[in-house]
Amino acid sequence: MRLLITGAWQNARDFFPELEKRHEILFLQQERDPLPCDPSWVEGVVCNGLFLYHPIESFPNLRYIQLTSAGFDRVPMSYVQAQGIEVHNARGVYSVPMAEFAVAGVLQLYKQSRFFFENQKRHKWEKHRGLLELCGKTVLILGCGNVGTECARRFAAFGCRVLGVNRTVRENPAFASIAPLSALDEHLPEADVVILTLGLDNSTFHILDAARLGRMKPGAVLVNLARGALVDTAALEAALPRLGGAVLDVFEEEPLPASSPLWDAENVILTPHNSFVGDGNGERLWQVILPNLKYYL
């Protein structure tokens, strides 16, 4: 297969010798840059947002797409399905670092890391009597797929009661129980920590709006690892004073504007869509890509 690989697969070159046994390969570092070939050359791609910059309709011989992301929202899926193009995502590749990030973010808020960090910079010795424990807390995870499951395992290990709400209800031993999304309003008031790991579509856009943020208990922590538009940003900004805080890796507008009040909120931990990064991602991605390519051939 004539395969175009982009820099979205960060260590792709490490695996070129194996891939070149079966495929012709061209490489494009930045997906927004001009293609290194005529689009008609391309039969398969390994990419993330390639079709945001190069219309998929311009690839007449495209038959195979391997995404380096878990989501399909950067691909025109109606066109892909209509043309019979085989498409795969990176399911499970980033779940471990994202789950670790969720735990780390909540612990930073619970253990007042910002307070101690600022005092350390000032060489100031001052105790804080308001530290919280994860043990015994209730964690509600919206989206019980790979990322949600890895989050559930880690919070359960800290002694938390972990509940899930999901589009489909199925058995998952990582959760104490899983309810349908229709039960979200029922469970929000009992959660000390709410974690978003579900996909974004018309049904989940602003799933946490002003009304639902108002249903969260005072002092609760919100963690969003999935998509920024799952949360109404203006409503979250208004709700922050009554919440314990927010751990935000994704935003409705990225990059987050410098004028956003979220930058200066004392109870917000903010990172630039970085929670997926981990030193095991390259090997996990290869273990996804290789079987998919072999199956296709």
Q: For residue 96, give both structure tokens.
A: 């471990």
114 is catalytic: no
Catalytic residue among 57, 133, 186, 254: 254
Number of H helices, E strands in the chain: 10, 12
Catalytic residue among 206, 215, 273, 284: 273
Residues 6+ apart with CB under 8 A from 211: none
DSSP state of 215: H
Contact 9, 285 (CB under 8 A): yes
Contact 223, 193 (CB under 8 A): yes
Catalytic residue among 54, 154, 187, 227: 227
Contact 68, 88 (CB under 8 A): no
Contact 208, 181 (CB under 8 A): no
Helix axes 113-121, 95-110, angle to 10 degrees: 70
Q: Which residues pair with 200 in a beta bridge?
A: none
227 is catalytic: yes
Q: Which residues pair with 139 in a beta bridge?
A: 162, 193
273 is catalytic: yes
The catalytic residue positions are 227, 254, 273
